[in-house]
Amino acid sequence: IEIYSLHVDCKVTSRFAHTVITSRIVNRANESREATFEVELPKTAFITNFSMSINGEVYPGIIKEKAAAQNEYDTAVSQGQSAGLVKITGRKLEQFQVSVSVAAASKVTFELTYEELLRRQLGKYELLIKVQPKQLVKHFQIDVHIFEPQGIHFLETDSTFMTNELTKALTKVQNETKAHILFKPTLDQQKKNSEPDETLLNGDFVVRYDVKREATAGDIQIVNGYFVHYFAPQEMPVFPKNVIFVIDRSGSMTGRKIEQTRDALLKILQDLRPEDHFSFITFNNKVVEWKSSLLPATKENVASAAALVQTLSARGGTDISGALLAAVAALEKAPGLPERSVSMIILLTDGQPTSGERNVEVIQENVQRAINGKYALFCLGFGFDVSYKFLEKMALSNGGIARRIYENADAALQLQGFYQEVATPILMQIEMQYPENSIEGLTKNNFKLFFEGSEIIVSGKISNELDLLPVEIKAQSHTSNLTLKEEANVKEKEQVFQNQRYIFGDFTERLWAYLTIQQLLEEAISAQEEDQKALEAQALDLSLRYSFVTPLTSMVVTKPQQQEELANKPTEAG
């Protein structure tokens, strides 16, 4: 079985990435063989299309409601069930895999399309392409076309497998608003010197970039009546933070995990700003507060905290509830915190609650009642013994996010990386306002916090013939209350995308649908049951209308001989 052509074609228009992977395979044997198409794609992406062509016959994947697809599938496979097509393979990726039998001397072409909105983190967007052909490929090519009307500020490529020889196969052409990256290694360039049949192409191919920004109320882009508004202010004063680290030191954290936690906390302590206030709560079945109150992050206090961190050891049970409520109480009673400041609780745990209150629903309710919208709660789940669903619901209900920390060699870096994302809050209570009677289907437009290096994205449909789209942004910065205003000329904005060779038509509409589905699913996590059903019904409707494989839909792939397989979207909560 030979892959004679593999082409990754990625078009990024205003952060919305549309990737098509085409693999052509030939069976050179004189009997039928199994051909496998295997792609790792970002977890944040939604598959939108898949097809196989075998000897001119096309077998498309059909996207259906998950329950309906499952019933159909169960009927078709009542004997000898085959596995699903998609599974999570790492912290950023999931794997799509399908195999099909190919007759002697026949060919098969696989084509997979997926889309995602690139998220700005720590001042850059990252497009990740996993390269793993597992054999030498005669025609191998990666094309990345980027079009950013705001202008490209910087652009870099990075890869885990580059050699001097392979670097010659990489070209980058860029002007003010467009870039084209081409990676096209010959067979010789792909070969490992030591083993000429082995390929060097194995790992990540990453494109990172950022766009230019004017110091205004962000940037608005409009195509076919759908607008998208990007807002990422820069160079603003940073709010002082009041942070309580709530650290699990129960028995299961013993060994590597507690060591990595210590390493990460020592680095994070160094990153605190002098105007920040902080404290530690450690917990097993007992909850221990480092100090009776939050302390300013002076050199002496940081050194004293570092000494405590060095002595962290793990044993005993897990009283998550007691620890979180103690953290809230500490913030409530802390004297002398700066008036304009951001208070947050960062919980790190690797297990289920086994001491104190154990009912996760009761814990969620008690914590939400105690926090009462005043503080942000971030939940980090270490490893796979945590109830991620519980942590995610608790974080989303309290203005924060949850993140899984993978038990790898770089766990300490993952923890530090997370802290860096939330270390510099520069705006609070952000309201993005648009003319109410002219906009339909507006995505989330109120945000509690904005961290430097990230980006707020709001999208919607302009419902009547507007010539000008006015926007107003209200927010609190450390020094003042801001009001920013901007007017977008609809005709002019539409003009920007006319005649663009590699725009995929209705990208703003698909971006709007993608963002709406993501937000509905996120909202559903922390909603009451009836609301949850309504939110999921809306998300399902959009997933089907725009053909996205989301956690609510499945793609049914029918192979020759009527054999069916299912592609489902896995979630971090399982």
The CATH architecture that domain 241-423 belongs to is 3-Layer(aba) Sandwich (3.40)
Which residue has tokens 């062509």?
Answer: 53
Which residue has tokens 């709530």?
Answer: 246
pLDDT mean over 64-84: 66
The pair of three-digit structure tokens given for residue 106, joined into one six-digit string: 């026949």
Q: Evaluate if residue 79 carries a pLDDT over 50.
A: no
Q: What's the pLDDT at 174?
A: 95
**What's phi and psi for 516, nearest 5 deg?**
-65, -45
pLDDT mean over 424-439: 95
Beta bridge partners of 6: 23, 140
What CATH number matches the domain at 2-212+555-559, 3.40.50, 1.10.760, 2.60.40, 1.20.120?
A: 2.60.40
Give the C-alpha distances (Å, rounded to integers) separating 531 from 296, 362, 392, 521. Answer: 42, 19, 18, 11
Residue 346 — pLDDT band, cuts 50, 70, 90? very high
Whether the full predicted model's pTM is greater than 0.85, yes or no, is: yes
The span from the CA of 187 to the CA of 165, in Å, is 11
Mean pLDDT of the chain: 92
Q: What's the pLDDT at 175?
A: 95
What 330-337 contacts at long range (C-beta under 8 Å, 24+ apart), as own/partner pairs, is 330/244, 330/279, 330/281, 330/289, 330/293, 330/294, 331/242, 331/244, 331/294, 331/374, 331/375, 333/293, 334/242, 334/277, 334/293, 334/294, 335/293, 337/242, 337/277, 337/294
Is the separation of the CB atoms in 139 and 115 below 8 Å?
no
> What are the pLDDT digits (tens) for 272-305?
999 999 999 999 999 999 999 999 999 999 999 9
Distance from CA of residue 227 to its chain's centroid? 22
> What are the pLDDT digits (tens) for 304-333?
999 999 999 999 999 999 999 999 999 999
Do 241-423 and 2-212+555-559 have the same topology in CATH? no
The pair of three-digit structure tokens given for residue 339, joined into one six-digit string: 């008036």
Domain boundaries defined on the chain: 2-212+555-559, 241-423
Distance from CA of residue 50 to its chain's centroid? 22
pLDDT mean over 373-381: 96
> What are the pLDDT digits (tens) for 524-561?
999 988 999 999 999 999 999 999 999 999 998 888 87
* % residues pLDDT > 90 (the chain): 79
- The residue among 159, 91, 97, 85 whose CA lies nearest residue 127 is 159
Q: Evaluate if residue 437 carries a pLDDT over 70.
A: yes
> What are the pLDDT digits (tens) for 95-115?
998 888 888 889 999 999 999
Q: What's the pLDDT at 409?
A: 87
Q: Evaluate if residue 215 carries a pLDDT over 80.
A: no
Q: Evaluate if residue 84 carries a pLDDT over 80.
A: no
- The residue among 538, 517, 535 whose CA lies nearest residue 526 is 535
Percent of the chain as helix, strand, coil, to the nearest 5: 25, 40, 35
Q: What's the pLDDT at 297?
A: 96
Q: Evaluate if residue 519 carries a pLDDT over 50.
A: yes
pLDDT mean over 432-448: 95
